Amino acid sequence: MSTSDLLPPEVYQEFARQIPVAKYGLVAVCTMLLYDNLLSLDDEIEYMWNQRFTFVTLLFLLNRHYALVVFIISLLMAISPAFTPSVTVNTLCKVFTTRIQILKQIVRCQSFILLEAIGTGTILTILPDMVIGMRVYALYKRSRILGAFLTIYLTAEFGVALWIYLTPKVSPVILPGPESITNSLALHACLGAPSSKLSNLQVASFQFMQTAYDTVVLLLIIAKTIKETLGQRLNSLHGIQSLIVQHGVIYYVVVFTTNFTWAMMILFATENFKYSMAS
């Protein structure tokens, strides 16, 4: 590789300062999920595994265990130099004491970046949406109109995400320079970026749709609670209405802040940080 392919040293230094931030974030997420799984394992066994298996049970297990698995894979993608566009791995296997080469596999970052874009950021947004949607659906006594609206909206939101990441495809962000530098532990990254044909606003449309969904859900929860407690003082609320309001507000504040920050980072952050909030 000629020296003309090298970037100024300052670029590599800045990249080396930014990349560890995203990696530390993934470590924190994996640690938190694992800690939460272990902390509440007894409750999971009592209220999920010992009960009749339903669609709600499936959603719970996907939100809980699928999330941990994909975040661990994302962490491996972020820290392991094996996930690079040009590394060839020869896998050898012993069969009856004979060493036989059974697989020659090219491990490419490009083969896995869709997992981070769709399998992590998108799926782990839609799954909690389905849970909160079913909660609102039950709160409104299984209204078919509301159920149809939420289903159509979430389907459209998922379709927008697929449009963003599959038109034409997500491409790996490749840092120019020799692999001995770009694939070092300090600079290694397996990041994907949507097609350059899409503007930042188009790419952020998924996050804006999610923010709108969270807002509508919160308003529905508050409207139902106010209707059923009309004439009562706020401090006299008890039971399920009070719990739903409290959890709804907390959920909205956390998720709204996360998605709004994610959208703003897509619009204005540097390439290395645009999609770090997906985790």
Per-residue model confidence as pLDDT tens digits over 218-240? 888 888 777 766 655 545 555 55
**Pairing status of strand 98-107 against strand 87-95:** antiparallel
- More confident position, 70 or 264: 70
Burial 104-137 (b: 16+ CB within 10 A, else e): eeebbbbebbbbbbbbbbbbbbbbbbbebbbbbb
User: What is the tens place of the pLDDT at every residue in 35-81?
Assistant: 988 998 998 988 888 888 888 889 988 988 998 999 888 888 888 87
CA distances from 13 to 141, 167, 190 (A): 57, 32, 18
Q: Residue 274: its pLDDT value, please?
A: 64
Q: Give the residue carrying structure tokens 């491996």.
A: 76
Tokens of 205: 């449309």
Each domain of the chain, given as residue ranges in start order, spans: 3-278
Q: Kindly indicate the confidence band of residue 145, based on its pLDDT and cuts at 50, 70 and 90.
A: very high
SS3 127: helix
Q: Tell me what the mean pLDDT of segment 142-164 comes to.
A: 95
Q: Going along the chain, which residue ranges are E strands?
A: 87-95, 98-107, 171-172, 192-193
Q: Which range among 84-93, 127-136, 141-150, 263-272 has the greatest average pLDDT?
A: 141-150
pLDDT at residue 85, as a whole number: 54
The continuous run of DSSP H or E covering 245 comes out as: helix 239-268
113 contact partners, CB below 8 Å, separation of at least 6: 170, 171, 172, 190, 191, 192
